[in-house]
Chains A and B, each alone.
Chain A
Amino acid sequence: MTAIIEFSNVEKVFPGHHALRDLNFTVAQGELVSVVGVTGCGKSTTFNLILGLFPPTEGQVRVEGHDPYGEFDWFRRRIAVVFQDARLLPWRTALQNVCTGMKFAGVPKAEWDGRARDWLGRLGLAGREDAYPHQLSGGQRQRVSLARAFAVDPDIILCDESFSALDEITAQALRQEFVELVRAGGKTGVVITHSLSEAMTLGDRVLVLRPPGHLADDIRLPADPDAAAQDELRDRILTAMTPEEQQ
């Protein structure tokens, strides 16, 4: 399969902090990949590099063959993000928030309303289009955020701990919906998470990062693992996540 995201010998150094060290991985088109690791392992830096918010210090990041930092605007309508908190504009209704994402991304205006209503409906928010964010529950706000990302019809959806702030039942339901929507749309998904169980249930592969920001393991998840296989998988991820000095 074609690699849609490619990290080659990537280093990222911030003043006084080596965030990533010789990071190499690829994500194929249509894959759903979780990036897991302990706090400070470089998950957020990896996320921001894919998003193009800053360049790598060394090495190369390529997304769809392009440099996400140097060709920032090329990625309009190609990448969308679902953040940990929904980050809805408080002065816009649910419908308007979804439309605003499309406006930012340059989707033709004639398509905004139809697409926004369609995605809000798919995510169970029909009838809540005119509600302001403060009138929605945390789960509903995150659904609007998902609708905003999917409505742009991007090639890649990035999730930055998008389900970690929700209660487990809501998070479980949203994860399930997210996976179905990614699969149905043929999108590529990258989910940054610190939750082991989320990483194990969400995607096709788990990339385990270990401080200081290098790939400790790259695990392809079995389609339907039994309990013993799940335990084995959990141990393998845990071992890979644990910093070397604590092993």
Chain B
Amino acid sequence: MATSTASPPTATDPANAARPNRRWPRDPSVPILIVVLLAVWALVSRFTPEYDVPSIPSVAREVWSILTTGESLASLLTTLARVGVGLVGAFAAGLGLGLLMGARPFAARYLLPPIRFVQGIPSLSWVIIAVIWFADVELRVWFVMVLVTLPGFALQTYDSYRAVPAELRDMARSFRPGRWALFREVTLPAITPGIFTAWKVNLGLGIRMVLIAELVGATVGVGAQLLSAQQLFDMASVVAWTLLLAVCMLLIQGAVELLESWALRYRPKATEGEKP
């Protein structure tokens, strides 16, 4: 039996260095999964009626129609705008509350219980409350979005604030900094990873909430379009709207992750050693 004593190739091997650095496909699992899913979809749609599982071409036509029809495109953009405005509002309020609770234990004693209570209320209850309270659709959607996602932003900010290393605060205090300098140089960078986590979690939550809110009373938006498609038993349209929304969310998630890796670029990479 032949044995080999050669060590595994490393990046510093001249042989490896001469090879081109192929960046794509680094991980073939995603393209493989997409191909398998499309194949299964195509197969199942051949043996089921169009109103249950629409064919790929009919969904593709719907997608094209949405993207090229002004009214449909406006619905998609309206929903995305509602998600954006709602999340930005919730983030601003949640960040403020989280920082206040972190900086002032007195405030935390009075604010934490109600925020946790609000977080425990089912999202659907907020939708019903919003329908009863507000006649204006935009206000309803914004109200639901803020109340459902604000606790996540506030609690994550609060937890991140409390996790700022005391050693770094003491180090900074030894130089007698102003409050803004201390916040800008120590607190804000230390809570940034937590803020990104909250954004990634709330993006998914936000899109689900805005759809539910749009289903009740909205005339424009993906939720309203889905309701209309359901009433017409137009499954191709349902799938097309859902796919488009999911792709948009994936793109936004990707953008957030890019921003995150830029903001946290100081972190050691997996291949990087702890010491030189």
Contact = CB atoms under 8 A, between A and B. Distances in A.
Interface in A79-94: 79-81, 83, 85, 87, 89-92
A134 B271 CA distance: 13
Interface stretch (B151-159, B174-182, B231-239, B249-257): B174-182
B175 A87 contact: no
Contact of A80 (B168, B174, B182, B276): B174
Interface in B163-179: 167-168, 170-178
B47 interface: no
Contacts of B176: 72-73, 75-76, 104-106
A83 B175 contact: no
B266 interface: yes
Which one of B170, B174, B176, B189 has the highest number of Cβ atoms from chain A below 10 Å of its Cβ? Answer: B174
Contacts, number: 67
Contacts of A91: 189, 264, 266
A176 B109 CA distance: 50
Contacts of B264: 91
B272 A83 contact: no
B275 interface: yes
Contacts of A101: 175
A75 B274 CA distance: 36
Interface string B244-276: 000000000000000000001011100010111
B118 interface: no
A96 B266 CA distance: 12
A89 B275 CA distance: 16
B186 interface: yes
Nearest to B185: A100
Contacts of A90: 266-267
Nearest to B268: A134
A136 B276 contact: yes
Q: Give the size category of B's interface with A.
A: 20 to 34
Interface in A95-135: 100-101, 103-106, 131-132, 134-135
A13 interface: no
A137 B136 CA distance: 60
Contacts of A83: 167, 170-171
Interface in B51-106: none
A79 B174 CA distance: 8
A152 interface: yes
B260 to A, nearest CB: 13
A103 B177 contact: yes
Contacts of A103: 177, 181, 185
A53 interface: yes
Nearest to A136: B276
A80 B185 contact: no
A104 B175 contact: yes
A106 B180 CA distance: 12
B185 A104 contact: yes
A51 interface: yes
A87 B168 contact: yes
A80 B175 contact: yes
B99 to A, nearest CB: 18
Nearest to B192: A91
Contacts of A81: 171, 174
B273 to A, nearest CB: 9
A153 B189 CA distance: 27
Given A134-B274, A137-B275, A89 B168 contact: yes
A104 B168 CA distance: 13
A147 to B, nearest CB: 14
Given A83-B167, A134-B274, 14 more contacts: A53-B170, A81-B171, A83-B170, A83-B171, A91-B189, A91-B266, A92-B185, A104-B172, A104-B177, A104-B181, A104-B185, A106-B178, A135-B272, A152-B175
24 contacts: A51-B174, A73-B176, A75-B176, A76-B176, A80-B175, A81-B174, A83-B167, A85-B167, A87-B167, A87-B171, A89-B185, A89-B186, A89-B189, A100-B185, A101-B175, A103-B177, A104-B172, A104-B182, A104-B185, A131-B276, A134-B272, A134-B274, A135-B272, A135-B276
Interface of A: 51, 53, 72-73, 75-76, 79-81, 83, 85, 87, 89-92, 100-101, 103-106, 131-132, 134-138, 140, 152
Interface of B: 167-168, 170-178, 181-182, 185-186, 189, 264, 266-268, 272, 274-276
